[in-house]
């Protein structure tokens, strides 16, 4: 039995209703969650492992609502599109993420895609989206934010944050702008350690805070506070933003005037737990005292619950503060009209989730986001030719039978990374030689890869590197995270460029900063996402089938400045792109 199940004190239900939104394992709700909801638990957070199929999610949210009785629960999820998706956990999001939207820089499209995301969530019975990310990207090596940001320009991020908020909330789903007061200028992943925002007050007011101000003016329902140290706002070394009264109450509530729900980032993140190793439950108490209304994903649910209960009993947490948080949550539920939309229409899911017009919108944005940063004028657009050859390219390097070689770099070549790109490439060049490499085999395969590259007329190097918050890697100083290629894969890519830079197109399938480590690159395209739609767009751009008109939402040191982008009209490569021909003729 968990602390949530004791039922020994009437204050328990009130406390639960006020502050707790935990996760749970599996694709169906366990008994303890259902019992806790029946007693007043505020809600739950869903993750990828909770998602199997639309019908299953709809059934799950119906069960959660049924358990809550008249009190409709908050059902929260992280659904940012692009590289951060829960609903499309297995297949990848049909919508590119924020960096791609920043490259397109059309706020009407940002509003539309977030409305589409919201509509999908609402149809599934999910009413609270922990998005959008409002961080201004200041650190090229930011592992926690990266392509989750709209870009490195404050005005751009502000405009698109407000558009995302209005799009989501127009679909009947609460938006939650994050990670206050800004996480984009940090090189430490707060999932793994304490990240520090080192800017002074002038920078904070001019760069980090305006997107949150825009979101508040747009009527955002909720703001998430980060576990980052901000010395300019709170010099206490034992405080991060989420446990700082000066930041949560003083800045967000009093100075910025935010009156909506304030949510902590996940309380199980090392950026917070490392400060509370002796008493993990105190993290919840200090976060609530700082001014947060909802405590997300406690590291130890029982310890956090008991610590909060004791703080209420001892009046360390005042009844007035608890009442204020309860009222905020009730008002938010009322604003979403949860009592009017309790039933999910399971029979209509196939027509409500993933509407064709929404999927077409996602593909359009992916197309428009493709940004050509470098072009030597000798390679693009690629030509089509060849006949199909059998074989499993990830098992061995096939003898080259065609003029095109594609080398696909990823963290693990056993994953789906690159499979859609390969299929798209083979539709145009059936005999293309596609080689998968990852850090485990990059060194061993180096000789074979370089021989294939030397014989090829054209080479595609597709690099699947995206920021993955919480990804654990072993670094020189212990556990860390990184957005760059591993040493082995990076060394192989450098050798490919040493041998064949002139005839190689490098595709940054995610992290646009890749090129700063490879200044010899002559042909460089950015997708800002590894979503399937972005893979399709990348291949279409390589063969001149779509206009290329994206512009960098960030500056790449020693490569290009923010706003750069070589525009190219759609063109069919001489020698014939049959795929492009069929698209344009409608056959």
Catalytic one of 265, 268, 402, 411: 265
Among 333, 324, 316, 314, residue whose Cα is nearest residue 292: 324
What pLDDT digit, counting tens, does each position of 133-162 carry? 999 998 776 767 889 999 999 999 999 999
* Contact assessment for residue 329 and residue 74, using Cβ atoms and an 8 Å cutoff: yes
SS3 category, 43 = strand
Task: Name residues of the chain where pLDDT drops below 70.
Answer: 1-18, 70, 141, 143, 187-193, 336-343, 386-402, 467-484, 572-587
Which residues, other chains included, contact 154 with Cβ-Cβ below 8 Å and sequence gap of 6+?
136, 206, 207, 210, 211
* Contact assessment for residue 262 and residue 291, using Cβ atoms and an 8 Å cutoff: yes
Strands (E) across 417-569 are located at 433-437, 458-463, 473-475, 478-480, 504-508, 523-526
* Contact assessment for residue 102 and residue 149, using Cβ atoms and an 8 Å cutoff: yes
**What pLDDT is attached to residue 339?**
55
**What pLDDT is attached to residue 398?**
44
What pLDDT digit, counting tens, does each position of 529-583 carry? 999 999 999 999 999 999 999 999 999 999 999 999 999 999 864 344 444 433 3
**What pLDDT is attached to residue 574?**
39
Instruction: Assess whether 318 and 434 both reside in one domain.
Output: no
**What pLDDT is attached to residue 322?**
81
Query: Among positive and negative, which fits the CA dihedral 217, 218, 222, 223?
Result: negative
What pLDDT digit, counting tens, does each position of 281-333 carry? 999 999 999 999 999 988 888 888 888 888 888 889 887 888 888 788 878 77
265: annotated active-site residue? yes
Instruction: Assess whether 414 and 511 both reside in one domain.
Output: yes
Domain end (from 322, 356, 390) = 356
User: What's 71's DSSP letter?
Assistant: S
Residue 325 placed within a domain: yes
Residue 361 placed within a domain: no
Rounded distance between C-alpha atoms, residue 202 and residue 213, angstroms: 15
**What pLDDT is attached to residue 318?**
84
**What pLDDT is attached to residue 198?**
86
Instruction: Assess whether 277 and 384 both reside in one domain.
Output: no
Domain harbouring 496, CATH code: 3.40.50.1700
Domain end (from 356, 382, 407) = 356
Residue 362 placed within a domain: no
- Which residue carries 């039933």 as its tokens? 343
Residue 364 placed within a domain: no
Quote the domain boundaries for residue 471. Answer: 370-585
Domain harbouring 239, CATH code: 3.20.20.300
SS3 category, 456 = coil
Rounded distance between C-alpha atoms, residue 55 and residue 150, angstroms: 32
Token pair of 9 as six digits? 């004190």
**What pLDDT is attached to residue 442?**
96
**What pLDDT is attached to residue 341?**
53
The angle that helices 10-19 and 301-313 make with each other, rounded to 10 degrees, is 120
Instruction: Assess whether 105 and 248 both reside in one domain.
Output: yes
Cα torsion at 148, 134, 127, 285 (round to 10°)?
110
Instruction: Assess whether 287 and 397 both reside in one domain.
Output: no
**What pLDDT is attached to residue 395?**
44
Residue 365 placed within a domain: no
Instruction: Assess whether 463 and 547 both reside in one domain.
Output: yes
């Amino acid at each position: 039995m968990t602390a949530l199940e004791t039922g020994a004190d009437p204050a328990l239900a009130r406390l639960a209703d006020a502050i707790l939104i935990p996760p749970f394992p599996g694709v169906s709700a366990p008994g303890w969650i259902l019992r806790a909801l029946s007693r007043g638990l505020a809600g739950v957070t869903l993750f990828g492992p909770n998602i199997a199929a639309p019908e299953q999610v709809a059934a799950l949210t119906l069960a959660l609502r049924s358990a809550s009785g008249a009190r409709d629960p908050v059902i929260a999820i992280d659904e940012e599109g692009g590289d951060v998706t829960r609903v499309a956990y297995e297949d990848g999001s049909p919508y590119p993420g924020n960096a791609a939207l920043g490259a397109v820089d059309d706020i009407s499209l940002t509003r539309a895609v977030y409305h589409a995301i919201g509509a999908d969530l609402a149809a599934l019975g999910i009413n609270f989206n922990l998005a959008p990310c409002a961080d201004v990207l200041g650190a090229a090596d930011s592992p926690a934010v990266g392509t989750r940001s709209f870009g490195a320009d404050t005005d751009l991020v502000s405009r698109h944050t407000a558009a995302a908020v209005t799009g989501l909330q127009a679909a009947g789903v609460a938006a939650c702008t994050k990670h206050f007061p800004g996480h984009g200028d940090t090189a430490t992943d707060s999932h793994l350690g304490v990240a520090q925002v080192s800017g002074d007050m002038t920078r904070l007011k001019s760069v980090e805070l305006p997107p949150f101000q825009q979101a508040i003016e747009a009527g955002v329902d909720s703001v998430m506070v980060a576990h980052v140290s901000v010395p300019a706002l709170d010099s206490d070394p034992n405080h991060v933003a989420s446990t700082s009264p000066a930041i949560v109450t003083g800045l967000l509530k009093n100075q910025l005037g935010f009156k909506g729900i304030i949510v902590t980032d996940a309380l199980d993140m090392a950026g917070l737990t490392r400060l509370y190793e002796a008493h993990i439950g105190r993290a919840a108490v200090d976060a609530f005292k700082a001014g947060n209304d909802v405590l997300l994903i406690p590291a130890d649910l029982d310890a956090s619950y008991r610590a909060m209960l004791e703080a209420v009993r001892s009046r360390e947490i005042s009844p007035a503060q608890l009442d204020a948080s309860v009222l905020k949550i009730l008002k938010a539920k009322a604003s979403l009209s949860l009592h009017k939309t309790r039933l999910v229409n399971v029979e209509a899911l196939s027509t409500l989730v993933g509407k064709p017009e929404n999927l077409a919108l996602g593909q359009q944005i992916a197309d428009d986001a493709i940004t050509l940063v470098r072009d030597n004028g000798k390679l693009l657009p690629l030509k089509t030719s060849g006949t199909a050859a059998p074989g499993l390219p990830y098992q061995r390097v096939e003898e080259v039978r065609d003029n095109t070689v594609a080398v696909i770099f990823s963290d693990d070549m056993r994953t789906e990374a690159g499979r859609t790109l390969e299929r798209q490439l083979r539709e145009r060049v059936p005999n293309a030689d596609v080689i998968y490499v990852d850090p485990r085999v990059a060194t061993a395969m180096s000789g074979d890869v370089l021989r294939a590259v030397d014989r090829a007329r054209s080479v595609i190097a597709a690099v699947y590197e995206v920021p993955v918050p919480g990804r654990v890697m072993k670094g020189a100083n212990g556990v860390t995270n990184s957005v760059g290629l591993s040493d082995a894969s990076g060394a192989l890519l450098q050798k490919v460029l040493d041998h064949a830079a002139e005839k190689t197109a490098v595709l940054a399938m995610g992290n646009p900063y890749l090129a700063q480590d490879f200044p010899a690159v002559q042909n460089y395209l950015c997708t800002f996402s590894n979503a399937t739609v972005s893979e399709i767009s990348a291949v279409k751009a390589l063969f001149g089938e779509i206009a290329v008109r994206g512009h960098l939402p960030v500056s790449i040191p020693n490569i290009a400045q923010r706003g750069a982008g070589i525009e190219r009209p759609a063109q069919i490569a001489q020698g014939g792109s049959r795929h492009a021909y069929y698209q344009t003729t409608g056959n």
